[in-house]
């Protein structure tokens, strides 16, 4: 993911200064966390320490907010995020087997990232495509009517850098 450069630190500082003129600190903390995640892909500890400093808020409070919202990544994530739908429609059509196949293929558990930083694995609840269950999402693309074999082929396409339409 993105490097923590001086330029990015300055950009963040300017963003915080701009927000602080408009809103009360607690109400703009989430906006700042969104900004940090957008810049780095996750919330780096070093950057969070600086945010605490700039916003004059205890670091523990910031981590409390960040961990409450599952949206925020506390660790670096891979280039591609695979979300396996475990909603009812997908589950009855074999989502658990698909998840197991992906775990085996990548050698990681849900919530983890491969060592090469290519994939992060997540679970999801109904991706809104029940008609083509079982479904997974890779980044913002939905893939349906899968089975363990098809999903491994899909992963291999991403490994080669070919994103399937």
Report which residue's Cβ sits closest to ligand FES: 87
Q: Report if residue 133 touches ligand FES, rule: CB under 6 A.
A: yes
Q: Which of 54, 65, 126, 148 binds ligand FES (CB under 6 A)?
A: 126
Q: Which of 88, 156, 157, 163 binds ligand FES (CB under 6 A)?
A: 88
Task: Tell me the window of 40-48, 76-84, 99-107, 120-128 that interacts with ligand FES (CB under 6 A).
Answer: 120-128
Task: Tell me the window of 28-36, 67-75, 76-84, 87-95 that interacts with ligand FES (CB under 6 A).
Answer: 87-95
CA distances from 63 to 18, 46, 59, 100 (A): 22, 12, 6, 31
158 backbone φψ class: left, alpha, beta (φ>0; ψ -120 to 50): alpha
Buried b (16+ CB within 10 A) or exposed e, 71-90: ebbeeebbbbbbbbbbbebb
Q: How many CB atoms lie within 10 A of CB 38?
A: 9
Phi, psi for 126 (deg, rounded to 5)? 55, 110
Q: Report if residue 85 touches ligand FES, rule: CB under 6 A.
A: yes
Q: Report, in Å, the least distance between residue 152 CB and ligand FES.
A: 19
CA distances from 105 to 39, 82, 99, 151 (A): 30, 13, 10, 10
Task: Tell me the window of 56-64, 69-77, 113-121, 123-131 that interacts with ligand FES (CB under 6 A).
Answer: 123-131
Q: Report if residue 155 touches ligand FES, rule: CB under 6 A.
A: no
Q: Which of 82, 84, 135, 138 binds ligand FES (CB under 6 A)?
A: 135
Task: Tell me the window of 14-22, 66-74, 126-134, 156-164 that interacts with ligand FES (CB under 6 A).
Answer: 126-134
Using CB under 6 A as the binding rule, the residues of this chain from 54 to 83 that contact ligand FES are none
Q: What single string gives the DSSP state of each residue in 37-90? A: HHHHSS--HHHHHHHHHHHT--HHHHHHHHHHSTTS-SS---SEEEEEE-SHHH
Query: For binding to ligand FES (CB under 6 A), which residues are involved?
Result: 85, 87-90, 126-130, 133, 135
């Amino acid at each position: 993911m993105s490097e923590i450069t001086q330029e990015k630190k300055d950009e963040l500082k300017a963003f915080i200064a701009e927000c602080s003129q408009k809103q009360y600190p607690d109400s703009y903390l989430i906006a700042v966390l969104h900004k940090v995640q957008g810049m780095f892909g996750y919330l780096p500890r070093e950057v969070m320490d600086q945010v605490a400093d700039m916003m004059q808020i205890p670091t523990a409070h910031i981590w409390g907010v960040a961990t409450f919202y599952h949206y925020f990544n506390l660790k670096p994530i891979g280039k591609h995020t695979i979300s396996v739908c475990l909603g009812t429609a997908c589950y009855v059509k074999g989502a658990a087997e698909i998840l197991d196949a992906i775990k085996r293929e990548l050698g990681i558990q849900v919530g983890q990232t491969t060592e090469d930083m290519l994939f992060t694995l997540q679970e999801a609840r109904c991706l809104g495509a029940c008609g083509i269950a079982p479904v997974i999402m890779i980044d913002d693309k939905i893939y349906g009517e899968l089975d363990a074999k098809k999903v491994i082929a899909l992963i291999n396409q991403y490994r080669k850098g070919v994103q399937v339409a």
